[in-house]
């Protein structure tokens, strides 16, 4: 009967194997002298080495490390082990892999928890700055949705990085320079700093809420109750956290740039766009003024 090592090992490098105290590059082991499976290896093909079990000498780049009852160890391929130790070797190897998965799960969850601590701390610190401006920015954006042409202008300005542009009739010289094909040119008349804040407020609020929720769930994960599928989901999630935090930081910075009194003068320039009147901006400017004063008082 094959005994399983209590601490299964995933060997990443050949040196880890060859430097083990009891390792033998060649070892003869009788069928009844197998003690347990020590570990598993899965190298790139160029790092293969010859089987050390019972003069097999086949090239292996993946396989297992076995221990004989006398304590000596060597490496072999799965087929070699199955051939030399026919007593349910493959099933025991499957059990070993399951044990290794449990070890990997413990290590992975530990790493996830360690990584998530600072992520969670930063995410939680951004909840208030993001949510405190939600209703105000929502109100400003709502006020700028009527008439529809104003809403379209605002969307265009967001895509243009805040630049406000108008169409201006070309001079005769300009028309000649363009080959007479154009009658108007685009001219920038201003720039609304941080304008994407009124576009991204909902995404930022929902995003920071979901992010903190998932990071808190990571802290409560238990290896024995967490299937591999869920662990893999959190590995993918962990890889996306930095991007989510970057977005939240960027949103807060954009909000700070947006809510300045200087910016209100730029917003007023929207009245110079086609189909927009000053009265269309009254509600948005009123809300903007309240938010800017509140922001100034807190700074």
pLDDT of residue 181: 74
pLDDT of residue 2: 47
Residue 6: pLDDT band (50, 70, 90) is low
pLDDT of residue 32: 86
Res. 5: pLDDT tops 70: no
pLDDT in tens, 94-115: 888 888 888 889 999 999 999 9
Residue 160: pLDDT band (50, 70, 90) is very high
DSSP-derived 3-state class of residue 154: helix
**What are the boundaries of each domain within the chain?**
3-87, 108-298
Task: Compute the distance between CA of residue 119 and CA of residue 189 in angstroms, rounded to an integer.
Answer: 41
Q: For the chain, how many helices (H) and strands (E)?
A: 10, 8
Query: What's the mean per-residue pLDDT of the chain?
Result: 91
Task: Compute the distance between CA of residue 75 and CA of residue 53 in angstroms, rounded to an integer.
Answer: 7
pLDDT in tens, 14-28: 999 999 999 999 999
Q: What percentage of the chain reaches a pLDDT higher than 90?
A: 74
Task: Compute the distance between CA of residue 105 and CA of residue 111 in angstroms, rounded to an integer.
Answer: 10
Residue pair 144/154 in contact (Cβ under 8 Å)? The answer is yes
Q: What is the mean pLDDT of residues 51-66?
A: 93
Q: What is the mean pLDDT of residues 204-209?
A: 98
Strands 34-42 and 163-169: unpaired
Residue pair 184/170 in contact (Cβ under 8 Å)? The answer is yes
């Amino acid at each position: 009967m094959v005994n399983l090592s209590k601490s299964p090992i995933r060997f990443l490098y050949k040196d880890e194997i060859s430097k083990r105290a009891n390792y033998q590059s060649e070892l003869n082991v009788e069928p009844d002298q197998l003690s347990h499976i020590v570990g598993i290896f899965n190298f790139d093909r160029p790092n293969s080495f010859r089987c050390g079990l019972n003069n097999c000498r086949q090239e292996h780049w993946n396989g297992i490390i076995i221990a004989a009852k006398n304590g000596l160890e060597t490496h072999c391929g799965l087929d070699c082990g199955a051939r030399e130790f026919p007593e349910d070797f493959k099933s025991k190897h499957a059990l070993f892999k399951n044990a290794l998965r449990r070890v990997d799960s413990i290590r992975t969850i530990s790493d996830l928890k360690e990584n998530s601590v600072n992520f969670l701390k930063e995410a939680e610190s951004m909840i208030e700055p993001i949510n405190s401006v939600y209703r105000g920015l929502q109100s400003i954006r709502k006020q700028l949705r009527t008439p529809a042409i104003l809403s379209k202008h605002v969307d265009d300005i967001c895509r243009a990085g805040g630049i406000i542009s108008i169409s201006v009739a070309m001079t005769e010289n300009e028309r000649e320079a363009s080959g007479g094909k154009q009658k108007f040119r685009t001219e920038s008349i201003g720039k609304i700093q941080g304008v994407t804040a009124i576009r991204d407020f909902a995404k930022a609020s929902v995003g920071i809420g979901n992010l903190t929720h998932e990071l808190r769930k990571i802290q409560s994960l238990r290896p024995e109750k967490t299937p591999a599928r869920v662990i893999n989901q959190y590995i993918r999630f962990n890889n996306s956290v930095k991007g989510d935090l970057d977005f939240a930081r960027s949103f807060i910075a954009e909000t700070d740039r947006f809510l300045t009194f200087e910016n209100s003068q730029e917003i007023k320039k929207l009245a110079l766009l086609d189909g927009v009147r000053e009265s269309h901006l009254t509600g948005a400017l009123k809300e903007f003024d309240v938010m800017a004063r509140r922001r100034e008082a807190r700074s």
